[in-house]
Structure 1
Amino acid sequence: MNFKRLQTKIAVMLIVTLALIVGANNWITSFLFQQEYSRVLQQELAVVGNSLLTQLDRLSALGVPLEELTGFEQQCKEIISKYPDVSHAFVIDPNGRILFHSNPVLIGTEAELPYYSQALMMVQETRFDYSMEDELYTAVVLPVQNNSLEPASGAVVVTMRKSVITQKLAAYALVPIVLSFIFVALAFYFIMITLSRWVTKPLRVMSMHMGLVAAGDLRTNADIVTKDEIGQLASSFNHMVTQINDLLRRTAQTAELETQYELERRQREVAEKLQRIVSSVSSSLDVQQVMDRVLQGSRELLPYRHAAVWMLDHGQLLQKSAVSELDSEPNFHQEEVESAFRHMCETGEPHMSPDAKVLWYPLTIEQNRVGLIGLTADEPFTSQQMTAAYSLFSQVSVFIHNASLYKRMQQLATTDSLTGLLNRGTFIELAESALVRSQQESTALSFIMFDIDHFKSVNDRYGHLVGDKVLKGVARKVSELLEHDASARVGRYGGEEFIVMLEYTGLEESSRLAEVIRQAVSELTFTSDSGTLSVTISLGVSTARTDNTMKLKQLLKEADQALYAAKYSGRNKVCMA
C-alpha cells in the first residue's frame, strides 16, 4: 500500500473513523442492551416467582403460617426444570431461614442474601445482584403478604447466574456486530466510490495536466466542470495556464524584438566598420598601403591570428602583405596557399578548412583570379564574421586594381618605358628638390652623366632590338649597383645617355662610384644572332659647390662637359668637372 497517495490516506482515515464509530456504537449499544436485557430477565424472574408467590399469598391470607406449609419444595424444583436459566428458587422466613428450596439440601440453612430484610420490611419487590461462592447472581425477592401490612411473613426468592445473562447477551450481540461490519464495509465501498469520482479522479486529472504543463505543454486544459473546490481549482489552473501562455507570448515577442534590435545593432556596427575600412582603403592609391590597410582593418570584423595577401605575379603566387598577432610569423605553407587558390579558381567561392579556423577569399578582377587573402584563428570563425569579411574582401580587388592602375600611370608618367629608369622630366624635378635640400642643409650633391660608347654602331651592326637589349642591360646593372643607396636616383637622360644623382656624396666618392659603374658595364656581355658583344661607357662627374650659387642647369652642364672630355680623351673613362 502506497501511503503517499491521497486516496490511500483518505481510505485509512475513513477506516479508522468508521472503526471508532462502530466500536463506540457497539459498546454503547451493548451496554444499553445489557441493562435492558438484565431488566427484562429480572422481570422474567419476577414473573416466575409470582407463580409461587400467588399460592403463598392465598395461604398466608387464610392465616396459615409459612412454617406449617408443605410440598412447596416440589414446586421450586418444577420452576427450575421449567425455566433452565433460573439457578435457584426458594422461600425464606423473616429471619432469612430457607423454608423451601429447589435443592433440598439447603432447606433449613440461612440464605446469604444482602437485601432480603429490606424487602421484607418494606413489603416491596426488590431486585439486586450478589456474589456467592465466587459467582455473581442476580436475584428477585418477592415478599409474602399477610393480614398486617408489614413486615412480610416471608419471601419468594428466584436467582439466576450472571454468566447465563452474559452468554445470552454475547449470542444476541454478535448479530449487531456482524451487521455493523457489513454496514461499515458497504459504507466504505460507497464512500470510496464517491471519493474516487468526486475527489481522486478529478485530482488525478489535475495532476496529469500539471505534469503536462511542467513538461512544457501549455496547450492543455483541465476539463473539470464541477462547482466544488476542485472545480474552482481546475478553473484557476486553466486561468493560470492562459496567463502563462499570454506571458510567454509577450515574452517571446519581447525577446524577438530584442533579438531583432540586437541583430540590427550588430549589422549597423558591421556596416559602420565596413564603411570606415572601405573609406580608409579607398583613400590610398598605393598598392602596398591598400593591402596593409585591408588586413589591419579586417581585424575589426573578425579576430584572426595571421592574415596575408598573395597576388599572381607572372604565374606565381607571391605574398605581398602579412599581419600576425604578437609579431609572430604567418604560419601559411605555400602548398596550402596554392591548393586553396586552385580550389577557388574552380568553384569561384571562398574556401574554408574543415575546422573553420582557416579562411580563404579570392581576389577577382574582371572574372579573373588575381590573388587571394588567407586568415587563420585559434577559434572557429562564425558565419556572421565570414559574411562581414566577404563583404569587405569582395571590394578589395577593385581597390588593388585601382591602385595598380594608378601606379602604372605613375610609372608611365615618371619612368622610361624601355629601361624602367626615371625619365628625364621626373629626374630633373627630383634633382631640383635635391639641390634645394643640399643648399639648405649644406650637404654634398653630385651627378654622374654617362653614355654608351659607339652605340650607333651597335644599332647599325646588330639591329635596334639588340640595341634596346643593351640599353636595358646597362640600366639594370647600374640600378643593381645603386639599389642599396636610398638617396641615389638613376634616370635615362636621352637616347643612350644616362644620369645618376648622388645626395650626400662628394666629388671623390662620386668619382670612385663612377669607376665602379664603368668597370661593371665593361664586363657585361650580350648575345645576338650575330654573336656576343660587349660595350663600354664614358662618364662625367660634377659636384655642387658650397657657395649656394650654382643652378641645376650649370651642374648638369658641367657633368655633360666632363662626359665629353672622357669621350675625346679615348672613351671608357671617368672625367671630373
Structure 2
Amino acid sequence: MVFLGACSVRPQAAQLPGQLIPLDHCIIMLIGPERWKHATRSGSYLLTPGWLRTWRAQIAAWGFKQEIAREFFQETTKELVLLDTGVDPDAATYLAELAAFVDCPSRIEPIGLDYLRLYLRDLILTKRIKRLETHQREVLKEANRKIAEYAMAFDLLIQLSSIQSEEATIHAIRDLFAMLFGCSDPTYAQVRGGQMVQFFPTLPTFTVHSIFEQLLVATENDYILIDEPAGFYLRIQYQHESMGLIAISNIAFPHHRDQYLSLALAITNLCGLALANARTFSMLQEAEQALRYEREITEHLRQTMSDLTSDLDQEQMLHKVMVQLEQLIPHQMALILLREGVMLRVASAQNLFNDARLIGTYFAANQQPFAAIIQRKKAIILNHDQLANLTLLEPELTRDIRTWMGVPLLQQEGVIGILIVASTQVNAYSANHVMIAQVLAHEVVIALQNVRMFQEMHTLAGTDPLTRLYNRRRLTELAEAAFRHAQKTNGNIAAIFIDIDHFKDVNDTFGHGVGDKVLEYLASLLRQVRSSDIVARYGGEEFVIISIGHTTQHVRLFAERLRQEVAQQPVNLPEGQIAITISLGVASLTPQIESLAALLRFADQALYQAKTSGRNRVCVWGETA
C-alpha cells in the first residue's frame, strides 16, 4: 500500500507497486480525520516528531526566511501542537526551537501509536475483505457457469433417457458433447464385448483409432488428454462395462479444458446409463418380437398338437409332422431320424426326389454331423461347403443342398432323434427358423412320448404282470376278432383251456412265491406257440390258447405234446425240483357254436371233464372220454 497526503505528487497508478491510498493529510493516520479537522479549524498547527526533526529543512524548502515564517505562523496559527508518539526523545527540544524561531506558542499532546495500528489494521482487513469478496464473486460466477452447464447437460441427458434406439442415443451424445465443449463432429466408437464394432460418423483416422485402442485396454483410466488439438478422449461406461469411446478435440476454449473434462466425466456415467437403457430396450423389443413370433408359432402348433397327440399311430403322426413342417419352415428335404442304440433310423422323410425309399434307412449315430448334434444337444446349421466334406446322404440328395439344419429331439435321458431340414437356397435358415424347429422338435418329442405311453399303457392294460401273457380282457378283444373272422371265412379256430393240477398244494407246500415261479415257467412254455395263436392267463392257474387255422385233430395233438412236455420236465427252482402236471380241455368251432363265449364255455367243460377223469390228460368237447 502507498499512502499519499495532500502535499504529495500523485504518480500514475501503473507506476505504483501496490494500492494507492490518498489522504487529506498524513497526520490523519495518527489522530483520525475528525480530530485533524477540529485542530486545523481551531488554529492548531499539528506537528509530528519526524517533521520536527527536519523543521529547518522543511521551512527552507518553503522558501521562508525567519521573518516571513513568523508572519505566516502568526497569521495562520494559534499554537504549535506536537503529536508525540514517543518514538523520538528529542521531539520536545525541536518543538521548542521551532516555537522560538516563529515566535508562536506550543504544546505537546501525547497520542501514542494505537490509532495508527488500528488504522492500518482496518485498511488491511478492508483490503482482504474486498479481495475475498472479489474471489467469492469469481467463484460464484464460475459456479453459476458450471450450474448452467450442468443444468443444460442434465436437460439433454433427460432427453437422452427417452431415446430408445442405441444409434439415436449415440448421435444425441455426440451432439451433447459438441454443444457443451464447442467442438465439431466428435468421433464415437461403439463398444460391445470389449471390442469396437462401429464408428460414428465415419471411420476414424489412424491416430484417433490408436488412442481409442489405448483407452479401451487401459481400464484403470477413463480418459486421455491431448494437447494438439486441445481436447480429450473419454470412456463411456455403465457398471464397469465399456459402452463406447468418444474423441473431443478442437475445444472452443483450450484454457478451460480441465473444467470441460470434469464436466464430461460427471456426465459419462449418465450417458452410459442412457446407452444401457437403449440396449436393454432394443433387447426387450427383440425379445418381445421373438416371443410374439414364438407365441404365434406355438399357437399354430398347439392348434395342430391335438391332431398329433390324438393319432396314436407313430407313422401317421410323423407324417402329420412333415405336413406341419412344410408350412412352418421352407425346405426341399426333411427327415426325422429316431435313435435305436448306436444307429439312427429314418422314421419319416420328405424331399424333392423320392421320400419313400429313405424311410427305414439307417445311419451311424457317430457319423458327422449327427454325432455333433447328439454330443452338443444343440441345433447346427451347415452350408454347402461344409456339407461337401460330409458323407451325409446319397450324393443325389445333397448335391443341390445349400443350407442344412439339424435339431436334436431332446428328452430327459438325452437325444432320442434328430429333425433335419435342408434347402437349396444359400443361408436359408436364421435364428427364428432354429427356434421354430426347436419348438416343433419339442412337440414331436411329446407326440412320440404319447404314442409310446399309449402303446405301453395298451400293452400293460392287456398284459398279465406276472406271466407277461395277455390277460383275460385282452384275450377277449383279440379272440373276438379272430372268432368273427373264422365264422365269416369258414375257417378253423379252437380254444384250449389249461389248468395246473393240484396247484393249491404247491402254494401250500412251498409258498406263493414258488407258485408264481411255476406259473412263470408254464407261461414260458406256452409262449412258444405260433405267432398267429393267442395265449393268455385266464385267471389263477388257468391259461387259454386260441389256436387259429388248425383242425381239431391238430389242436388235440398239440395239446397232448404240451401235456407230455410239462409232465416230463420238472420245474427247476432254487428251492429244488417241482414236478407238475396239467389238464387241458379243447373245443373247436362247429356250426352249433355261435359265439366266442360259447366256444370258451365248451372248452372249459372239456377241461372239467379232464379234471374229473383223473387229471394230467387232454379232453376234447364233443368226444367221449
TM-score by shorter chain over 0.5: no
Give the number of the structure with larger relative contact order, counting CA–CA contacts within 8 Å between residues 6 or more apart.
Answer: 1
**Larger helix fraction of residues:** 1
Rg comparison, structure with higher value: 1
Shorter-chain TM band: 0.3 to 0.5
